[in-house]
Amino acid sequence: MSMAPTQDELAIFNDITRLGESLWAESLKISGLNTDPKMFSIMLYKRLWSNHRGFALLWNNSLPLEADIVLRAGIEAAICIAACFKLGDGFLTLMRQDAAHTVMGQIKVHRANDETDLVRDGEATLRDLTAKLPEGTRPVRLNWQSLARDGGAPQLYDWHRMLSGVSSHVTGLSVLRGVVSDGSNSTELQSELRGLTHKMHLMMMAGATLQGSMIHAGMIDNLAHVEAALALTKRMDSLSMLWPGVAE
């Protein structure tokens, strides 16, 4: 089986790109407060759309490692869009909890370095963030598995975890994948793996952008783009039946 992306796969990626461009243009027409989940969805979609374009640029220029890092960021944005749609105001609380947790970590660093002005500013920011948290909640970092589950997008978390371990971060496995062993067919296997990754990561980015686009379009009540995303999802489902491991 050829590991190169097919013409149909390239075509659907380009069609999803056009969908994203059109949906982002529609999103720019909407204004509101940052306490509105709809506005959070717009901010998240801005990230997803930027990640999609960045991935395409890196992928087309044969920079797979850099493309994988951007792909992982795009998947995070898509997970958050799904969670925002499902949780509404609850998602905003999670964002504030994560922000407060991050500020707490920064305060510790500044205090260890005797940076009193930065500690004071950080504590003021932390007080403002925690004051807006519901009673009984505390600062805590985002849990990607929980977010994907609550957003109804567990597949996105599977991709996120895989990328974290085998490419996006410096891990033993991500480094060893580029090392050829003494086996006679090691070089050939490495080549096949690179080809498969080149193909499937393109489809991962397409899938994350498509899922995020469909959910975001629903979030901003844009029925035309929801329907366009649904049509593309049907095409993607058909293509996926031909992917390695699916039809076996």
**Tokens describing residue 76:** 């995070």
Show pLDDT as tens, one digit a residue, over the chain (248 residues). 457 899 999 999 999 999 999 999 999 999 998 889 999 999 999 999 999 999 999 999 999 989 999 999 999 999 999 999 999 999 999 999 999 999 999 999 999 999 999 999 999 999 999 999 999 999 999 999 999 999 999 999 999 998 887 766 666 555 556 555 555 555 565 566 666 788 899 999 999 999 999 999 999 999 999 999 999 999 999 999 888 766 55
Contact between 23 and 222 (Cβ < 8 Å): yes
CA dist., res. 66 & res. 163, Å (int): 12
- C-alpha 239 chain-centroid distance: 22
Nearest to 153 by CA among 163, 145, 162: 145
C-beta contacts of 57-66 below 8 A and 24+ residues apart: 59/198, 59/201, 59/202, 59/205, 64/167, 64/194, 64/197, 64/198, 64/201, 65/167
Predicted pLDDT of residue 83: 97
Q: What is the pLDDT of residue 4?
A: 84
b/e 219-234 (16+ beta carbons within 10 angstroms → b) = bbebeebbebbeebbe
pTM of the model: 0.88
Where are the chain's structural domains?
7-240
| pLDDT for the residue 1 | 47
Q: What is the DSSP letter of 152?
A: T
Per-residue pLDDT at 153: 96
Q: Which are the contacts of 45, defined by CB distance < 8 A and separation ≥ 6? A: 23, 24, 27, 77, 81, 212, 213, 216
Which residues have C-beta within 8 Å of that of residue 3, sequence separation ≥ 6?
A: 192, 195, 196, 198, 199
Closest CA to 214 of 242, 241, 234: 234
Task: Compute how many other C-beta atoms are within 10 angstroms of the C-beta atom of residue 58.
Answer: 18
